[in-house]
């Protein structure tokens, strides 16, 4: 009887909500909060009167704000996002211009806009809404994607936004958007010759940008960071030592020594290093498994959307999965010394409101696509 009631409840919720996705995201959020609390406990006690819970309380505040906003956002149909794709792009591009004019500078980077006592990063929001614009554009022009004028348009808009992003400076977001655009055009079946040409052009441009910026050149010396431990290699070397000392089983939750002011940004960009030190390889495998399941879920929903002729929704589900996957892979690669040190957050784990809200918005769109796909599939079967 109890089993029958559970099945009835599941069938009642299914048209509106993907329970598997919900519990997966909930697990990632809880694991992220636990890791953040452990990574920030010493810094919280040092910097505030609240005690060891300072950063955890602030992140919980961002989580509550994100849930409230996402509860409204989930009621916006994906077709409305598609209809307003130009307005959304221009609005968030305008915010990037405002950062250039009135932005707040922290640690040598001007990436924030302040509203009272709160500050947020428009670049984080721009990445998500550029992806929405790109998917809508590719859907509208799907029959003409092999036309060079149609193909080049996304890169024109990307170049305009890259101008403001690189001035912040935020080369990481520029790279993510370029790679995303290239990959989505490949999925949309653009010409290989066009993809090759723009890929080479982008690579040459990236090399020229790096050469012209001394701080970027310094970060390329990441192959042997411990040889330059007391200068530019300190942060990366500390990260590698933290992960290495965690071994297979880790030192235990809360037992990290690197977070005792040895590893800079232990609660933000290098939170993965603290996780590896405390939970070892098993903790790392668990984290990677959770994100793999999230990416897989995005791709499955995207595939279902394409099967019921919801092309925009299918492309968007793929794009969001790829977007989250790139951010995770880049953050892990930086922490492991596979890429130059770059300030990129680990979604749902790193402290910070903007990336947290945008990551939840991205997942909310996946929930909405699931609902739209279910409705379309149900109507198709009825006919």
pLDDT tens digits for 275-285?
Answer: 999 999 999 99
Alpha-carbon gap, residue 278 to 272, rounded angstroms? 10
Q: What confidence tens digit (pLDDT) does each residue in 128-148 have? A: 999 999 999 999 999 999 999
- pLDDT score of 222: 64
Q: What are phi and psi of 67, to 5 degrees?
A: -65, -40
- More confident call, 205 vs 361: 361
The fraction of the chain above a pLDDT of 90, given in percent, is 57
Task: Rank 43-52, 144-153, 210-219 by mean pLDDT and report only the highest.
Answer: 144-153
376 pLDDT band (50/70/90 cuts)? confident
Alpha-carbon gap, residue 357 to 291, rounded angstroms? 17
- More confident call, 218 vs 95: 95
- pLDDT score of 380: 61
Alpha-carbon gap, residue 344 to 326, rounded angstroms? 10
Domain coordinates in residue numbering, the chain: 17-73+223-310+329-383, 82-212
3 pLDDT band (50/70/90 cuts)? low
Per-residue pLDDT at 1 exceeds 80: no
7 pLDDT band (50/70/90 cuts)? low
Mean pLDDT in the chain? 87
Q: What confidence tens digit (pLDDT) does each residue in 296-355 have? A: 999 999 999 999 999 999 999 999 999 999 999 999 999 998 888 777 899 999 998 899
381 pLDDT band (50/70/90 cuts)? low
- More confident call, 53 vs 21: 21
Query: What's the average model confidence in pLDDT over 7-23?
Result: 73
With the CA atoms of 16, 19, 25 and 27 taken in that order, what torsion angle do they form, in degrees rounded to the nearest 10?
Answer: 150
- pLDDT score of 257: 86
Angstrom distances, CA of residue 362 to CA of 18, 74, 144, 357, 359: 15, 10, 28, 9, 5
- pLDDT score of 382: 46
Let me know: does 98 contact 113? Beta carbons within 8 Å: yes
Per-residue pLDDT at 10 exceeds 60: no
Q: What confidence tens digit (pLDDT) does each residue in 207-260 have? A: 888 887 776 666 666 667 777 776 777 888 888 899 999 888 899 988 888 888
Query: What's the average model confidence in pLDDT over 156-161?
Result: 94
Query: What's the average model confidence in pLDDT over 183-209?
Result: 91
Tokens 């993965």 correspond to what residue?
272
Query: What's the average model confidence in pLDDT over 351-376?
Result: 92
């Amino acid at each position: 009887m109890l089993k029958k009631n559970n099945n009835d409840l599941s069938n009642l919720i299914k048209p509106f909500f993907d329970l598997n996705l919900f519990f997966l995201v909930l697990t990632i959020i809880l694991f992220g909060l636990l890791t953040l609390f452990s990574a920030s406990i010493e810094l919280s006690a040092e910097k505030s009167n609240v005690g060891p819970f300072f950063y955890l309380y602030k992140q919980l505040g961002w989580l509550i704000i994100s849930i409230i906003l996402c509860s409204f956002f989930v009621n916006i149909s994906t077709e409305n996002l598609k209809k307003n794709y130009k307005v959304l792009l221009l609005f968030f591009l305008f915010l990037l211009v405002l950062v250039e004019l009135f932005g707040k500078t922290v640690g040598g980077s001007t990436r924030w806009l302040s509203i009272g006592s709160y500050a947020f990063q428009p670049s984080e929001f721009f990445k998500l809404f550029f992806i929405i614009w790109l998917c809508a554009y590719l859907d509208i022009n799907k029959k003409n994607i092999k036309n060079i004028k149609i193909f080049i348009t996304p890169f024109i808009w990307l170049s305009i936004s890259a101008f403001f992003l690189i001035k912040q400076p935020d080369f990481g977001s520029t790279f993510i958007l370029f790679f995303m655009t290239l990959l989505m055009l490949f999925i949309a079946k653009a010409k290989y010759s066009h993809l090759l040409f723009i890929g080479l052009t982008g690579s040459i441009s990236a090399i020229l940008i790096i050469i012209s910026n001394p701080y970027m050149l310094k970060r390329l010396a990441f192959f042997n960071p411990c040889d330059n431990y007391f200068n530019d290699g300190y942060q990366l070397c500390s990260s590698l030592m933290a992960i290495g000392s965690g071994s297979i089983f880790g030192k235990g939750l809360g037992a990290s020594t690197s977070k005792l002011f040895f590893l800079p940004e232990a609660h933000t960009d290098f939170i993965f290093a603290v996780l590896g030190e405390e939970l070892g390889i098993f903790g790392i495998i668990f984290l990677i498994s959770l994100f793999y399941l999230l990416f897989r879920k995005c791709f499955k929903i995207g595939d279902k959307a394409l099967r019921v002729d919801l092309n925009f929704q299918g492309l968007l589900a793929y794009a969001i999965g790829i977007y989250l996957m790139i951010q995770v892979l880049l953050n892990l690669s930086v922490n492991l010394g596979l890429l130059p040190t770059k300030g990129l957050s680990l979604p749902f784990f790193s402290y910070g409101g903007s990336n947290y809200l945008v990551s939840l918005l991205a997942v909310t769109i996946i929930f909405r696509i699931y609902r739209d796909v279910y409705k379309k599939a149900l109507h198709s079967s009825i006919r």
